[in-house]
Amino acid sequence: MRKENISDAVIRRLPRYYRQLSELYARGITRISSLSLGREMGITASQIRQDFSCFGEFGQQGYGYRVKELCEEIGRILGVDRSHHLIIVGAGRLGKALLQNFPFSQCGFAVDAAFDSSPAVIGSTVNGVAVRDMDTIDVWIRENRVDVVVLTVPRNAAQEITDRLIALGVRGFWNFTNMELNNSNPDVKIEDIHFADSLLTLSYRISHD
Amino acid sequence: MRKENISDAVIRRLPRYYRQLSELYARGITRISSLSLGREMGITASQIRQDFSCFGEFGQQGYGYRVKELCEEIGRILGVDRSHHLIIVGAGRLGKALLQNFPFSQCGFAVDAAFDSSPAVIGSTVNGVAVRDMDTIDVWIRENRVDVVVLTVPRNAAQEITDRLIALGVRGFWNFTNMELNNSNPDVKIEDIHFADSLLTLSYRISHD
């Protein structure tokens, strides 16, 4: 059903649809028109219909979308039901904050381990996840499925560790290092979190009124 | 020079230009064509020229952009030179991680204080910033300039605290709570960090290969 070459912009809207529909469902709303959904999200109804048409037919003309079914279907498209496996590399403050607070399981990810090179944290447990010695990561990756590495290491170690992990076969990176990571392997997917871009956008908005 | 009604997409690319140009400058590159800049960023040269034309003329035909000057100019457009003042509301793990690791000053923000309601952290200092009692925030906001509040409170307290801060006159929010905050005041600017959207985008990418 899925068309090829779905644009980056459409893909980036999918999690927003998923989030919005989850909230609607939690509010007890069972059915919604593209017009109302668009109004909630600041998107036009025709944009929504066009986005969804990339993945098949979700609604019925004049009848609206069934919130629960649509939410589940988008979840499947996003891979939320696939039980992806994830490890955290870098168990400093940010790594620990993610381990404590981020709802990985709601996103379909099992957090299997964390790794760090500091003796101060190796052997500790954060929110039920053991922090292991970075020197043992090669063995771990050979013996366990790792779909995604959350990269929360210092900036100056980021590229070297990424290269090492790619060589070990890791293909997904959630990159919190604020470094643009070099990678020439098309199978490797890197998703960057750029906090600063977000704050600078806000800076622009409060500066131009 | 600045046109009105600059699109959200253009505004969101400005921090990326700023980041890219800063990196080029750090690498010793003093001049760059729109073609090369586009190649570095995965954007077309014509997109770049169109984006920049919203803010005036930055380059010279056939000559390229001067990296340092362009970077400074975009920084001014973003408000990096304005010495914005910021406080952090919620000094839990995430608030502390931001205080320790995020380069606020590079983004043009002075972090003046943090606030929390837990006696365990009130009175402590994180990276030179004092954590104050949440009960004293009203007085602080009346007596100090606060351009942006970084919201790192628990999800269930987010809306109530936001309403209180808006009533106190706060107009900029950097929202880490993963809650969509309700706000009907057009002068209030809220910038959300949605970690989950980013991880779900990555989930899609690793699921569809």
Beta bridge pairs of residue A82: none
Residues of chain B with CATH 3.40.50.720: 83-197
Q: Smallest Cβ distance to A19: which of B101, B174, B196?
A: B196
Q: What's the mean pLDDT in B115-135? A: 97
Cβ A114 vs Cβ A91: under 8 Å: yes
User: Per CATH, which fold does B83-197 belong to?
Assistant: Rossmann fold (3.40.50)
Return d(Cα A51, Cα A14) in angstroms, integer.
9
Q: What amino acid occupies position A160?
A: E
Return d(Cα B109, Cα B198) in angstroms, integer.
25
Tokens of A43: 């998107």
**Would the pLDDT of B3 be above 60?**
no
Task: Rank A25-39, B17-31, B116-130 by mean pLDDT and report only the highest.
Answer: B116-130
Instruction: Give the Cβ contact number of residue B42 at 10 Å.
Output: 8
- ipTM confidence score: 0.91
Q: Tell which of A206, A208, A209 to mutate to test the B interface (max B CBs under 10 Å).
A: A206
Residues of chain B with CATH 1.10.10.10: 8-77
Return d(Cα A94, Cα A89) in angstroms, integer.
11
Taking CB atoms and an 8 Å cut-off, how many pairs form between chains A and B?
173
User: Per CATH, which fold does A8-76 belong to?
Assistant: Arc Repressor Mutant, subunit A (1.10.10)
Distance of CA B159 to the CA centre of its chain: 20
Cβ A109 vs Cβ A86: under 8 Å: yes
Contact A206 B93 (CB under 8 A): no
**B147 to chain A: closest CA residue:** A206
Distance of CA B141 to the CA centre of its chain: 20
Show the CA angle centred on residue A174, arms to residues A173 and A176, nearest 5°: 125
Q: Smallest Cβ distance to B107: which of A103, A191, A203?
A: A203
State chain B's mean pLDDT as an integer: 91
Q: What's the mean pLDDT in B52-58? A: 83
Return d(Cα B121, Cα A75) in angstroms, integer.
39
Q: What's the mean pLDDT in B111-133? A: 97
Q: What is the CB-side half-sphere exposure of residue A140 using CA atoms within 13 A?
A: 22
**Would the pLDDT of B2 be above 60?**
no
- Report how far apart, in Å, the C-alpha atoms of A189 and of each of A6, A53, A54 are: 16, 25, 21
Please give the model's pTM, rounded to 2 decimal places. Answer: 0.81
Q: Which residue has the tokens 């003093």?
A: B30
Task: Rank A99-103, B36-40, B165-169 by mean pLDDT and report only the highest.
Answer: B165-169
Q: Smallest Cβ distance to A187: which of B12, B173, B209?
A: B209
pLDDT on residue A129: 98
| pLDDT higher at B166 or B208 | B166
**Would the pLDDT of B138 be above 60?**
yes
Residues of chain A with CATH 1.10.10.10: 8-76
Q: What is the CB-side half-sphere exposure of residue B43 using CA atoms within 13 A?
A: 20
Q: Which residues does chain A have with pLDDT short of 70?
A: 1-4, 60-61, 209
Q: Tell which of A107, A181, A202, A207 to mutate to test the B interface (max B CBs under 10 Å).
A: A202
Cβ B188 vs Cβ B173: under 8 Å: yes
Residues of A whose CB is below 8 A from B92: 97
Give B71-87 pLDDT, tens digit per residue: 999 999 999 999 999 99
Q: What is the DSSP string of A181-202?
A: PP---TT-EEEE--HHHHHHHH
User: Per CATH, which fold does B8-77 belong to?
Assistant: Arc Repressor Mutant, subunit A (1.10.10)
